[in-house]
Structure 1
Amino acid sequence: MGGTEHLTVTRDGATLVLTLNRPEAKNALSLPMLVGLYDGWTEADEDDGVRSIVLTGAGGAFCSGMDLKALAGRGMDGEPYRERLAADPDLHWKAMLRHHRPRKPVIAAVEGACVAGGTEILQGTDIRVAGQSATFGLFEVRRGLFPIGGSTVRLPRQIPRTHALEMLLTGRPYTAEEAACIGLIGHVVPDGDALGTALEIAERINACGPLAVEAVKASVYETAGMTEEDGLKAELERGWPIFGTADAKEGSRAFAEKRPPVFRRA
């Protein structure tokens, strides 16, 4: 497992846990954090033993966005990582899930601040859990900036347009209850319980057939911009082969034999 000084990588069974670890700055994005995120997504994609990913933050915060001092040209931590960024100028967008979608399900476990770039990364995750004191929002316009991490495209596709535009154009903070009400997050839990709840959801996913899970996720995203007719065709192309897998046969057999299935990605 990889990781950097600002990104911790651990395993919880078949779940890879990526923890934004810069609590003194409310986990503001740094170059070491972005490189660590990119490497974490890559590890999850390449390791068949990983069936789900949980993204969370250390110190009672999720992510407060980009380090504005760096954006103003006053430097960013992590000089040793600059060669990585030079070799792949798209690395930071992949790290923030703007230009990359992991094939495994990604569950966000949010406590505290999840604003600006934090809310932008959140939109690249699949399932979202937040503590009741968590806050969300896209503050860029208040600073004369643009939320270029994908929010003007993704947010109106994930929540009703009127709510997306209000969030984008006012730059105001949203409570966890408000975020759940408009559909930005799926679960509000007591403070401190977000990670545990996310891991419980991950464990339920991990118990399912991994080929089926990955195919379902891929189908949802690849058909999102299609007409219903084209989407249904694409769904058949993606889903029908799953029925011929050994895992599908094992799932049916285990159900008949009243035992947990043993899936082998085959």
Structure 2
Amino acid sequence: MTSGTEHLIVERVGATLVLTLNRPEARNALSLPMLVGLYDGWTEADEDDTVRSVVLTGAGGAFCAGMDLKALAGGGRMAGEHVRDRLAADPDLHWKAMLRHHRPRKPVIAAVEGPCVAGGTEILQGTDIRVAGRGATFGLFEVRRGLFPIGGSTVRLTRQLPRTHALEMLLTGRPYPAEEAARIGLIGHVVPDGTALEKALEIAELINANGPLAVEAVKASVYETAEMTETDGLKSELERGWPIFDTADAKEGSKAFAEKRPPVYRRA
């Protein structure tokens, strides 16, 4: 099963679902069809047990230049009837698509080339691992336009970066080159331009080779315990982690290690 819309391409690369923002003529600015496609992509990844990881990228040498303000001002008139019906049926769909308060259970890797600004940087904060080409640019430009970064940045950015860096990004609205974004911790890898997707798929393959139940439990535990005290977090970790040891996959991992062969995991 693969979904997608005119502005969102969905492809399979092995056990990885690749979601490509596809409005290169607009630097992949967020449109309503793109948001519907994104939401469907996250849903597909969660519901398909053969998907082990997700890569989010953009077409045409850009990641995402933020919300299409013309489309937003038009109240959705530029979108087709099906898209408008989907948004009317679930008024929260666009926030889920942007990962504002929706967290896929599979690991999500961002592969960034070119501009990743405003809403692009907000979506980025909902991903788990981040790779960028050397020429990529980041930033939250909303205050420069008299707007508010309502996609979650005033809450999440200070939890992902030191407060001084988060507030500088939020309050100045200035662009950040990839090397600086890596230095402050917004992204994890800077690679030659044009190779971000290749590197993201390389990381995805490493994840895909691991026990899927273990991977998903580790991701869930990291986020569940993030705001807990250490005592509560350690208790929660045991509750999440101990059942993994009783799975057939855990036994297969140990057996494969002893037999010096790659494990064959079955989500069991």
Normalization by structure 2: what TM-score? 0.98
Tell me the residue number matched to 1:25. Answer: 26
- Partner residue of 2:237? 235
Whole-Å separation in 1 of the counterparts to 2:91 and 2:173: 28
Which residue is 2:57 aligned to?
Answer: 56
Q: 1:169 — aligned with what?
A: 171
After TM superposition, the structure 1 = structure 2 runs for residues 30-179 of structure 1, keeping only pairs within 5 Å, are 30-73=31-74, 77-80=78-81, 81-179=83-181
Q: Kindly state the Cα deviation for residue 69 of structure 1 after the two structures are TM-superposed.
A: 1.1
Other structure's SS at 2:35 match? helix
Q: Secondary structure at the match of 1:211?
A: helix
* 1:15 corresponding residue in structure 2: 16
Partner secondary structure for residue 86 of structure 2: helix
Distance 1:74 1:228 in 2: 46
RMSD, aligned α-carbons:
0.8
Distance 1:59 1:46 in 2: 29
Amino acid across the alignment from 1:189:
V
CA deviation after TM superposition for structure 1 residue 110, in Å: 0.1
Cα deviation for residue 76 of structure 1 reads 5.3
Q: Which amino acid aligns with 2:151?
A: G
Other-structure match for 1:264: 266
Q: Structure 1 runs of 4+ off > 6 angstroms? A: none
Unpaired segments ≥5 residues, structure 1: none
- Contact 2:118/2:141 (<8 A) preserved: yes
Indicate conservation of the 8 Å contact 2:76/2:84, yes or no. no
Shift of 1:70: 2.3
How far 1:74 sits from its partner (Å)? 6.9
Q: How many pairs align?
A: 266
- Are 2:112 and 2:136, in contact at CA under 8 Å, matched by a contact in 1? yes
| Percent identical | 87
CA distance in 2, matches of 1:204, 1:219: 20
Please state whether the residue corresponding to 1:64 is helix, strand or coil.
coil
CA deviation digits over 1:159-191, x for unaligned, max 9? 100000000000000000000000000000000
Rounded Cα–Cα distance in structure 2 between residues aligned with 1:46 and 1:124: 19
Query: Displacement, 1:68?
Result: 1.2
The aligned amino acid for 1:187 is: H
Where does the alignment leave 5 or more consecutive residues of structure 2 unmatched? none
